[in-house]
Amino acid sequence: MAKKFIFLKVAFFLMLFISFGAGWAGAQDITPALQQEFVDAKAAIEAAQKAQAEKYSLEPLKKAQDLLITADNAKAFKDPVKFAQASRLARVYAELAKAIAEIKLEEEKLAATQEELQKAKDEIERMKKAQ
Answer whether 94's CB lies under 8 Å from 45's CB: yes
Estimate to the nearest angstrom the gap between the alpha carbon of 119 and the chain centroid: 43
Q: What is the pLDDT of residue 15?
A: 55
Cα 44 to Cα 61: distance, rounded to the nearest angstrom:
10
pLDDT band at 1 (very low <50, low <70, confident <90, very high): low
pTM of the model: 0.72
Q: What is the pLDDT of residues 27-46, one digit of tens each?
A: 578 999 999 999 999 999 99
Judged against a pLDDT cut of 60, whether residue 116 lies above it is answered with yes
The mean pLDDT of 67-76, rounded to a whole number, is: 97
Q: Delimit the domains of the chain by residue range.
A: 31-130
